[in-house]
Chains A and B, each alone.
Chain A
């Protein structure tokens, strides 16, 4: 009888213990996820890069959740399509904050949709991780803004290109820029850099959005006989400009052509333009050159290549996708280090430390931009028509700048580099 009573007691204790363990594990499982909210261009003119950026962020979140999440909680992305317009983003972010109650915010892709969010973030003292914006915080001066883009100081983009041109013997600059904020900002810095370097601007034009044909503009440009041609254009225009250059010609004097042509970073555009790209020196953010691989970079692109097919996004994804992943890595490191979701603490950590990411180490200056520019200037070489796979190999876009990532020297003049 006594033994049966002891056995019964033991079973009861074991049952209670099992219940307690189950209850505890249930409590962990029921912990709400950490919500990260953002809008992203999934339709409209910015959608090509927006979708690739989102895929990079999703890969980070999926890998993190597979490892157990952040602070023992899963990470959930709350994403809305901002249709590539600034008109949509304030309402979306108000909803993310007040209805979805997200814990952290990522900014949308690109400058224009992000610009209206800075005052909101500053007013509510929110951490905002930027996503390839250009100088949106220069006037707002929000101290919890971290732009996830390698631009660095405002003038570094134009300065690196014009320096390459000047070293090649160029003095006369032609500036051709889209009549939109981002391109005009770049043109403005190019004018300032040209002035400080005593270089003469012989052609300076802003073309309107929706320009169909660039033959007339290129003819007018080449008539001024420039030897450096700095172009700040958007995707459909970049293709039109290169076609016109190929057909009309830009002049034998030109030492260097390109600079800030958006679109030449995307697989579909590069495949379509093929050999027309040869010789062009243009900005980029990541390229499959030996100097660009860091811990996790190769694995990321293996995963990306598989998922890009299903997601119908840019099959290469060099331009922005790894930065989406890197943005997640920075937040992950900051949350783990501070062991909290306190936005001020995370911001303080992000300012104070250098962060290891798949795009290299990232450190921030007080204005929320990268301390040092890592914007690449690379020259297209040996590109053949209709072959997207060629861009996966090193040597198709040789890095000329910055010095620490450089993989070759400029071939000049432009006409010689095209062959």
Chain B
């Protein structure tokens, strides 16, 4: 039974959900999209950040978003370290670095999962904040405030990263290394350092994204597995390395999922989302806003 109200609700809620997808994928858009690092441990770091936020919220009653900001520098340092390790052990050694790199990052993801289990146990964890569990009413439509928070944060992250990559010297260096590493080397710059810095930023963003993850839903140590497909889907659909594309792709995915869940039946939602990815890639192999291949 078609209902215009239901459709409108699905679009609004889907847009908010899509922004959340964009926020948890935007770091991967830098590490995988710009740097070509097969960072399958991205969702594991995301979950790790959620646990950091949980710790600060549970023990010291720090607001989850503020907690996300506080752990950002630590995640930046973690990113620097992990990239250096990856570069020294895999990337530097040959042309099949990407294939072997996948094994490296899967290994890292498993280690992160085990560390979380050892430290926090296997139970679900969640945080408390005034905006969790409440909704904003517009006519018949009720919008969860936590989703509005995700929307605002995703928008801010996209704008900040886009400005950083286009307006700052280091940002332009990151784009340059993504386009032609050898040319950058000939200019006297060290592409490895630039990539390490960029990977640090991609990981630092996860501090905030991890806060959103635990604001939107409870987390458990193996939750990263649910996000591997989703985050890579958003980044590839967006076009590798496009921050604005990541936001748009996230929204498209969220709206499609929400409409299918509401109007056609929940079982179809994942199939529709991934079928849409395949459809877009068939027409535009470079993704929505990606560089022409």
Contact = CB atoms under 8 A, between A and B. Distances in A.
Interface of A: 42-45, 47-48, 51, 179, 205-213, 215-217, 219-220, 223, 235-236, 239-240, 243-244, 246-249, 263, 266-269, 272, 276, 312-314, 385-386
A269 B124 contact: yes
B31 interface: no
Contacts of A276: 133
A206 B217 contact: no
Contacts, number: 129
B265 interface: yes
Interface of B: 3, 6, 9-10, 13-14, 17, 20, 113-114, 117, 121-126, 128, 132-135, 142, 144-145, 147, 216-218, 220-223, 226, 257-258, 261-263, 265-267, 269-270
A12 to B, nearest CB: 60
A247 B262 contact: no
A129 B249 CA distance: 50
18 contacts: A48-B124, A205-B267, A208-B267, A213-B216, A213-B217, A216-B17, A216-B261, A217-B262, A219-B10, A220-B262, A239-B126, A239-B217, A246-B133, A266-B123, A267-B123, A268-B125, A269-B123, A385-B128
A223 B3 contact: yes
B266 A207 contact: yes
Contact of B13 (A43, A51, A216): A216
B126 A272 contact: yes
Chain B interface mostly: helix
Contact of A236 (B6, B124, B266): B124
Nearest to A273: B126
B266 A272 contact: no
B124 A216 contact: no
Contacts of B221: 43
A209 B267 CA distance: 9
A210 B147 CA distance: 18
Contacts of A236: 124, 217-218, 220, 223
Contacts of A205: 265-267
A42 B221 CA distance: 12
Contacts of A272: 124-126, 218
Contacts of A263: 124
A247 B13 contact: no
Contacts of B135: 247-248
Identify which of B113, B132, B133 gathers the most chain A CB atoms within 10 Å of its CB. Answer: B133
Contacts of B133: 243, 246-247, 276
Contacts of B132: 243
A307 to B, nearest CB: 14
A48 B258 contact: no
A269 B261 CA distance: 25
Contact of B124 (A215, A239, A247): A239
Given A51-B121, A205-B267, A220-B262, 20 more contacts: A47-B122, A48-B123, A48-B124, A179-B266, A205-B266, A206-B265, A206-B266, A207-B269, A213-B147, A216-B14, A217-B266, A219-B10, A220-B6, A220-B263, A223-B3, A247-B134, A269-B124, A272-B126, A272-B218, A313-B121
A319 to B, nearest CB: 12
A69 to B, nearest CB: 31
A216 B126 CA distance: 21
A136 B257 CA distance: 33
B218 A269 contact: yes
A312 B121 contact: yes
A212 B17 contact: yes
Contact of B262 (A219, A246, A249, A266): A219
Contacts of B121: 48, 51, 312-313
Nearest to B123: A268
Nearest to B267: A206
A355 to B, nearest CB: 31
Identify which of B9, B217, B270 gathers the most chain A CB atoms within 10 Å of its CB. Answer: B217
A67 to B, nearest CB: 31
B110 to A, nearest CB: 10
A199 to B, nearest CB: 20
Given A215-B144, A220-B6, A248-B135, A208 B266 contact: yes
A313 to B, nearest CB: 7
Contacts of B145: 247
A205 B270 CA distance: 15
B216 A212 contact: yes
A216 B10 contact: yes
Nearest to A249: B142
A385 B147 CA distance: 21
A219 B124 contact: no
Given A207-B266, A217-B262, A239-B124, A223 B217 contact: no
Contacts of B147: 213, 215
List the 9 shortest-distance A-B pairs measured between CB atoms, nearest first: A268-B123, A207-B266, A47-B122, A210-B226, A247-B135, A247-B144, A272-B126, A216-B261, A312-B121
B264 to A, nearest CB: 10
